[in-house]
Amino acid sequence: MKPPRIFTILCLLFLVLASSAVAAPSAKHYALVYTWNKDIQRALDDRTKLARALSLRIDRELQIVGNGQVFGVIYPLNGTLAQARKLALNQSNKLKLAGFNPAGIEPAGNYNKRYHLLLTQNSDPNRLKKGYARITGKLPAADRDNLQVKKKRLPQLRPYLPPNSRAVAGINSKVQDFLREQRSKGKLQRQERTALLAYDLTNNTYLASINSQSSFQAASMIKPFVALAFFYQVDKGKLKYSSKHRQMMEQMIQHSDNQATNWFIRQLGGPAKCNTLVNKKYGRLFRQVRIREYIPPGGKSYKNSALPQDYVQFLKALWNRQLPYSQEMLRVMSLPGRDRIFWGTDVPSGTLVYNKTGTTAQLCGDMGILVTKSKNGKRVPYAIVGIVERSSAPKNYKQWMVHGGGVIREFSSLVYGEMKHKYNLL
């Protein structure tokens, strides 16, 4: 005898409700929580350190969130509580080495997401919303009708001024001794040229200037100048900065993707047009930036070039927000990646790093800004440029790259020692 149809329906309904009640806890989303701070700048600083320690993408995987009057750094998950616990356990050793406690676990909804795209000091929500709008071209729905983003006039560019020889004489002597020592140890060969520059962005003075006005191959260090030409056109309304452009910009700068670089050069009308934009619009700032070619297959780019002092001028103008979309370029240059001015040096953890490396079979280089911290908590920025170039490919490429990168890293440590003494750094 078959059971009544209504009885069968009631049984199925009961089973569905029971299964939903069992599945609900496992469907809940969680996040790993690393730090809580009352100061949003401290949270931003912690996020930079965490990104490097955990090899996470600073904007896509690490978020700044708020809970009441404090700001936290989290890694949001779409997994279960068990998965969150497992990941927290796997990260514990890396966090300990970076000076952090083990990650906490919070259910989604216990905090509010902040607009965290900009690494700015003394940030407030309105300022961050404006930065978000300028970068993405859109606003969250709740703010779209109430916030009008106004275009700001860029500060006037300062023309190039040659380094003051008196200002750099003391440390230049130390750097010359350092180079002689590197050659005596076989880390630098006779046929290899070097350029080593350091610039104090607080006092606007050179700390070191070796071969600053000699032309060197640019390798991938030409890419920030390509970004500058592109953002100039965006600022003039001739090109747009869409989500695809943002992704390609990160590929070009963070991952040094050559295809992404060539994509931007094509957007600008080719190498000659890109070169004209940089030199015509910023000729008072740069002396000899030359964008002559697309990046060839295999990355064998030897025709693009620049003076080492041009990198310093670029970094100085970028830090002083004198270039279009300076904040976005700083954001992209701060994303975790390769560098030769921080990793493996005496520069302490917690230092903010904005850089772009350059590497070919004939050149090993890095240019960037290090933002250290003094014992009284003040941020102290300075620029570093290090280049080692040879006329032909070495017999042992890996060994040469280790030696070339080592020269730049030891130079960075030397400069940090000078800055530490000068500003009472940590």
**Do 224 and 333 contact (CB within 8 A), yes or no?**
yes
pLDDT at 84: 82
Q: Across-strand partners of 379?
A: 373
Rounded Cα–Cα distance for residues 41 and 242 (Å): 27
pLDDT at 163: 61
Comparing CA positions, the residue from 260, 222, 266 lying closest to residue 244 is 260
**Do 71 and 37 contact (CB within 8 A), yes or no?**
yes
- Residue 197 is encoded by which pair of tokens? 């520059």
pLDDT at 399: 93
Comparing CA positions, the residue from 25, 21, 31 lying closest to residue 65 is 31
Look-up of token digits 């100085």: 316
Sign of CA dihedral 172, 313, 200, 156: positive
**Do 47 and 41 contact (CB within 8 A), yes or no?**
no
- Residue 135 is encoded by which pair of tokens? 């970068």
What are the residue ranges in the chain where pLDDT is below 70?
1-28, 58-60, 67-69, 109-170
CA distances from residue 295 to 136, 276, 302 in whole angstroms, order as listed:
28, 18, 9
pLDDT at 313: 97
Q: How many CB atoms lie within 10 A of CB 91?
A: 21
**Do 72 and 33 contact (CB within 8 A), yes or no?**
yes
Rounded Cα–Cα distance for residues 56 and 279 (Å): 36
pLDDT at 257: 97
In the chain, what's the furthest Cα-to-Cα distance? 106
pTM for the predicted model, two decimal places: 0.66
pLDDT at 3: 52
pLDDT at 330: 97
pLDDT in tens, 282-333: 998 999 999 999 999 888 899 999 999 999 999 999 999 999 999 999 999 9
CA distances from residue 38 to 114, 123, 391 in whole angstroms, order as listed:
14, 12, 53
